[in-house]
Structure 1
Amino acid sequence: MFGQRRYFRAGRIAAASLAIAAGAVAAPLHAATVAYWRFEGDGVTTPTDGAFVRDTNGRTAVQPDGIPVIDVSGNGNTLYTWDNNATGHQYRPNTPQTTVLQSGLSNNWSIQNNGNFPASFTWSQQSNPSGVNVQTWAPAAWTIEASVNTTTLGGWRTFVGRDGNDVNPNEAGLAPFYFQKIGADLPDTAFNDVDHVRIQFVDAAGIPHAAIDPNPMTTNQWYHYSATSDGNTLKLFKDQLDGAGYQMVASTDISASANRAMINPGVDVNGDSWGWTVGRGRYGTSDNPNDNHADRWFGYIDEVRFSDVALDPTQFLFKPQPNMVLTVNKNTGAVAIKNTSAAPITFDYYQIESADPDGPGGTPGGALSVAGWNSLSDQNIGGTLAADFNGVGGVNAADLAVWKAAFGVNANGDANKDGKTDGADFLLWQQQFGQTAGEGDSWDESAGSSNTTLAELFLNGSTTLAPGAQLNIGNAFNTAIFGAGQNGNLTFKYGVKGDPALSGGGVSYVTTGPIVAVPEPSSLLLAAGAVVIACGMRTGGRRKSH
C-alpha cells in the first residue's frame, strides 16, 4: 500500500515538473470579462415568465418594450432582439442550476425563442459601450462560455455567433464565429456530426479552426459549454450535469497559422462594426447586416460570458468555488494559503504560477519572488524533527546556537510549539540531537521554482488545514511587476492527499487584513491549533539558501 502511495505522489511531482519544464501555465484569475449576459433583468425590472427581450422593431431603433439584456461586465455591450414576435426571445424560469457555482450568484432566468426566427444581437451603435466594444474585439487568446438546452434535433443551430463575411478567402459566405449544433455529417470526422456541438472561428490570417464534441446533444437537457483558445490550441469543454463536471471533449492544434488571433470582420455596408449574436448564426455574402441570417437556435440559452484569456477549467462559470484560496496582499506582496471550506483539507502539493510568455519588457508576468517566498519547507511545517531550528534536515550544534539566541527572546527555538523558546525546547533538542530526515519526509521545494512557478511537495506525508486556517508563505508576490496595489496574474493549484488530480484553487487580492510576512524559521503559524499536521515518516527536505 505504501509503495502504491509513493508511486502516486512521485507521478504527481513528475507531472508537475514536466509542466514547469514545458512552461505550461494556467490562465490568470484576474482575466478581464469582456461581455457577460446573465438574463437576470436590467437592474430595474425583474423578468417575468414570457417577458420579451427589448426589441428594435426589425433593427431600426431600440424600442421601450421589453427588458434589455445588460452586459454585467460593465462594458456596456447590451443585447437586443429583432422584435417582440416570432423573431424575439422571451425570458423563462428554466435554468441549468439555480446558482452560478463559481460566483455564488443566483440564476433564475434564461431566454427561449418565441417562434421560428429568433434573433438577439449586440448593436454598439445604439448601446454605445463605455468599455471594451465586443464588436471590434480581436483577442489573441479568449474564452467563450454558454449554457444551452435544445428543444429540437436536426438542422444547423447557432447559440453564439458573430456576423460578417469575406473573412475566409476560400468561402466568402462563412461568418467569423460559430458556437453551434451541427446540421450535417462532415467529412473530416469518424462519427456522424449531426446534433454535435462545434466551436469554429476564423483567425486573423483567414484560416478557420474547429473543434467538435464527439457525442450528440439530446433534447431538453442542459449543457455547459466552454471554448478556449490560448493562441496555440483550440479546446472545447462540456459539463453535461452528470456529476463529472467540465470535461475537455475536443481540441485542435492551431499553431501552424501565422496569426491565430480572432479575426475582426470589419464593417458592414453602413460602415458599422459587425455584431455578435445569441440564438442565431449567419451565412452569406451580403454586406447588409439585415441579410443572410440563419441557423437559429430552438431552445434555451443562459449565462453567456466572453473573457480575454484562455481560462483554466477551474475558472469556468459552473465550476464550484475552490476550497483553498491563495490570499495575496497586493500592497506588501505577502501571500497565504487559506482553507475557506467548512471541513479540514489535507494536501501534499501546491503550485503557484505567474505566466510570462513574452519575457521582460512584454506583457507583465513572472511576478513571483523566490527570495521573498517563505516556503513550508523553510518553516519546517509538518516536520517531526521539531528541534531542526535552522531547517537543514537534521538536528546538530547549529540548532543549539539558534536556541541560545532565541531563549527568552522569540520563538525561533520553539520545538514544542508553545510560542516561546525555553528549557523544554532544549530538552527536545537533546532528544533529537544527531537525527536526520530522509528525502521526501517533509515539504520539499521544486527544483524548478522561479519567478513564474513556486511549487512544493510532501512526498511521504501531508499537511491538514483546519476550516478557516491559513499558512503564510512570506512575500512571494513581487508587487513591482504589476505595480503596488494592482492585481497580478497568479494561479494556484493544490493536491489533495489520495487524489491523483490537482484541484484548482482561488486567488484573492487584498489590501488589508491579517496577511503579513512571516520571519523564518517560524512556529507562529501553528499557534492555537490553527493548523493540524499529518506527517508521514520523518521530515527535512531541500530548502533554498538565503
Structure 2
Amino acid sequence: MNLSTRSTFARPACLVLCTWIALTCGAPRLAATTLAWWDFESDLATGSVVDGQYITHTTADGVHQDAVPDLSGNSNHLSAFGDGWGTGIYRQVVPAGSLTGSQFSVQNGGSYPSLSTAGDLDRSGIAVGELAEWTIEASVRFTSLGGYQTMVGKDGVGQAFASGDSAAAPLYFQKTSGNVFSIRYIDAAGYQHLLDGSTTVEADTWYNVAATSDGDSLRIYVDGNLDAAYDLTASGSSNRAMAALDESGQEGNSGPAYSWSLLRGMYDDEHRDRVQGYLDDVRISDVALAVDDLLNPYASALSLVVNTETGEVRIRNNGSTAISLDYYRIDSPTDSALLVDDYDGTSGWYSLSDQQVDASGDGSGIGETWDEAQASVLSSQLLVENFLLGNTTLAAGESRWLGVPVDVERLAGDLVFQYAEPGGSLKRARIEYTSEVASLPGDFNDDGTVNLADYVVWRDNLGVADEHAIAGNGDGAAGVDFGDYRLWRLQFGNTLDAASGLTASQVPEPTGGLLAVIGLTLLTQAVRKRVCRYFE
C-alpha cells in the first residue's frame, strides 16, 4: 500500500488511510553508527572542487585510489574506476532545501561511471561483515529513466543459495525498469529479499530516498514518506542480516576486488545498471533509522514555521524558485496541540479557506478556492484543506500566515507538515520551531498596535507589488491586496507585547460605522465557511 502517493481524485481518502506507524515505534533503539557518508563536497587529491571537475583517478583502471572522502571517520573513501569514462563529475546541482547544506553532487562522468570502496566497509578499522540492522540513504535525480539504475550496490555473485537469483549481487538500492525505487538484498542465510516501492519516478526530479531493515521489516522511504514495507519474518530465513561482502572475490575472478559501489550495480559478476543522473549525500548506517533521523527526509524548500511562544504558524518558501500547492495537512499525532476553531484575533486557525486565497469568481462554489475538511475530520490532531480546482503559489521567500492554530502549552514538538503540488504526490516538509518575538499581523505601520492608522497605510499602498510597504505584516501573498485588509480587520485592536508576542486588546473589532466610513462595503461580507464534499 502506497502511503505517499495520492491522485487528484483519491486524495481525500488518505485522510482516513494515511498512518504514522513509521514514526512511532515503541521498541528500544540501538545507538546508530554512521558507517560511511559521502557528500561530494571535496576531493582528497585536489582539496576543494569546482563545477565540472572530474573525480580524481590517476592510477590504472580498476586500481583503488582514495578520492571522495568518507565523513564518518571510518576512512571508507571512494575511488573512481578510471579517468573520464569510468568516473564521476562534481556538479553544482543539488536538492532544494538540503538539510546538509550541500553545494555539490556527483554526475555520471561517462559511459561506465563507477565509484567504489576498498573492499568491505570498515568500522573502527574492522570490516563490518554481516549487518543485522541497516539504513541506506541517497538523494538522486535521474536525467534518463531507461532500465535499472543502481544508486548503491554491493559486489558478489552466488550468495543467494537458499532462494532468489543466483546471479544476483548481495545488494541493490536502485530504480527499476518500471520506474519505482527498489531494495534487494541477500541475507546471511542465503535468502534474497525484494521490495519495490510505489512512487512513480520522474526524470529531472530530486528524490530523497532511504531503505531500512531492523531484521523484521524492510522499508523504503521517499521524501520522508513510507513508500513500501515488507515483513521479513514471513520469508522463513533463520538469519535476516545482510550478508557480508566476500572480500576475497574479484569481478570475473580476475578483475577488481569486490566492494560497495555507487553509480552502478553488479549482475552475473559484471558491472551493470549504471545511474544516468546525479547522486548526493549517500550515507550507510548500522541501525534502522527513524524517518526524522534521516539526513534529508524532505524534498522541498517549503516549511511550516511555528512560533513556540505564541502558537503562530506560517507556510514559508525558503527556496529560490516558486512552489505551488493545492493540498496541505498539519498533524499533531501525540501532543494533540492543534486548534480547530476559527481565528478570533487571538487564537485559532486562519485557514486559506477563511482567507479566500486565490478564489475564482466569488469563491462560493465547491473547489473554487481552498476548502477545509469537514468538521468530523478536523481535530486537535489534524488540520487539513485542499484546493480542488486551483492552487496557490508561493514565490521565493514568500509565506502565508495561518493564524495561531497551536496550543503551545500542549506542544512538545511532534508536528508533521505535508503538502502536495498540483498533480503530484504527498510530500513531507520540514517544521521550523522558533521562539523569536513575532511580528504583529495587521500592524502595517509597525508601531505595535493594530488600529485605524494601519488601515490608512494599507489604503495608500493598495496594489503595491510586495509587502514591504506595510512593514511585512500582511498575509504574505500577492503584495498589498484585499487579503491584507481582511487580516487587518481580524487583528483590529491587538497589540504586540515585546516579551511574549501577540496579545489581545480590549479594543473591539471595527464597528459598522467605522467600516461605513472606510467605504469598503465589498469586503464587509462575512467570510464563508465551506465544507468540501470530497472530504466526506
TM-score by length of 1: 0.50
Which structure 1 segments of 5+ residues have no match?
Answer: 1-7, 183-192, 238-245, 285-291, 355-367, 392-439, 480-487, 517-523, 540-546
Could you tell me which of 248, 252, 265 is aligned with 2:243? 265
Answer yes or no: is 1:375 the counterpart of 2:339: yes
Residue in 1 aligned with 2:96? Answer: 101
Shift of 1:321: 0.9
Which structure 2 segments of 5+ residues have no match?
Answer: 1-6, 26-31, 250-256, 349-370, 440-447, 455-472, 476-483, 488-525, 531-536
Q: How does 1:396-415 map to 2 (within 5 A)?
A: none
Shift of 1:267: 4.6
Secondary structure of 2:399's match?
A: coil
Residue in 1 aligned with 2:282? Answer: 305
Contact 1:148 1:159 in 2 (8 A): no
Could you tell me which of 489, 492, 495 is aligned with 2:417? 492
Secondary structure of 1:474's match?
A: coil
Which residue identity is paired with 2:304?
Answer: V
CA RMSD of aligned residues (A): 6.2
Contact 1:444 1:456 in 2 (8 A): no
Could you tell me which of 286, 289, 301 is aligned with 1:321? 301
Using a 3 Å threshold, how does the CA distance of structure 1 residues 134 and 280 change in structure 2: closer, same or farther? farther
Secondary structure of 2:172's match?
A: strand
Answer yes or no: is 1:163 the counterpart of 2:86: no
Shift of 1:320: 2.9
Could you tell me which of 412, 421, 429 is aligned with 1:505? 429
Which residue identity is paired with 1:537?
Answer: R
Identity rate of aligned residues, in percent? 17
- CA–CA separation in structure 1 for the residues paired with 2:119 and 2:49: 24
Secondary structure of 2:317's match?
A: coil
Which residue identity is paired with 1:505?
Answer: A
Q: How does 1:25-174 map to 2 (within 5 A)?
A: 36-42=37-43, 44-47=47-50, 49=52, 51-54=54-57, 62=65, 68-71=67-70, 77-84=76-83, 88-91=86-89, 98-103=93-98, 110-113=106-109, 118-123=113-118, 139=133, 143-149=137-143, 158-164=150-156, 166-170=159-163, 171-174=165-168
Map Cα deviations across residues 458-477 of structure 1 (whole Å, 9 max, x no partner): 799xx999837564413366
- CA–CA separation in structure 2 for the residues paired with 1:120 and 1:338: 42
Could you tell me which of 171, 185, 198 is aligned with 1:202? 185
Using a 3 Å threshold, how does the CA distance of structure 1 residues 513 and 283 change in structure 2: closer, same or farther? same
Residue in 2 aligned with 1:426? Answer: none
Contact 1:209 1:254 in 2 (8 A): no
- CA–CA separation in structure 2 for the residues paired with 1:301 and 1:257: 34
Using a 3 Å threshold, how does the CA distance of structure 1 residues 337 and 259 change in structure 2: closer, same or farther? farther
Could you tell me which of 250, 264, 270 is aligned with 1:280? 264
Answer yes or no: is 1:537 the counterpart of 2:528: yes
Map Cα deviations across residues 279-299 of structure 1 (whole Å, 9 max, x no partner): 332346xxxxxxx34226375
TM-score by length of 2: 0.51
Residue in 1 aligned with 2:313? Answer: 337
- CA–CA separation in structure 1 for the residues paired with 2:393 and 2:180: 42
Shift of 1:101: 1.1
Which residue identity is paired with 1:70?
Answer: P
Shift of 1:89: 0.9
Residue in 2 aligned with 1:288? Answer: none
Q: How does 1:417-456 map to 2 (within 5 A)?
A: 449=380, 454-456=381-383
- CA–CA separation in structure 1 for the residues paired with 2:138 and 2:174: 12
- CA–CA separation in structure 2 for the residues paired with 1:71 and 1:294: 23
Which residue identity is paired with 1:102?
Answer: G
Which residue identity is paired with 2:417?
Answer: F
Using a 3 Å threshold, how does the CA distance of structure 1 residues 345 and 233 change in structure 2: closer, same or farther? same
Contact 1:138 1:264 in 2 (8 A): yes
- CA–CA separation in structure 1 for the residues paired with 2:137 and 2:327: 31
Shift of 1:277: 0.2
Using a 3 Å threshold, how does the CA distance of structure 1 residues 375 and 100 change in structure 2: closer, same or farther? same
Which residue identity is paired with 2:108?
Answer: Q
Map Cα deviations across residues 84-122 of structure 1 (whole Å, 9 max, x no partner): 476x414265x7xx4421328575563435575x54212
Number of residues paired by the alignment? 389
- CA–CA separation in structure 1 for the residues paired with 2:201 and 2:17: 34
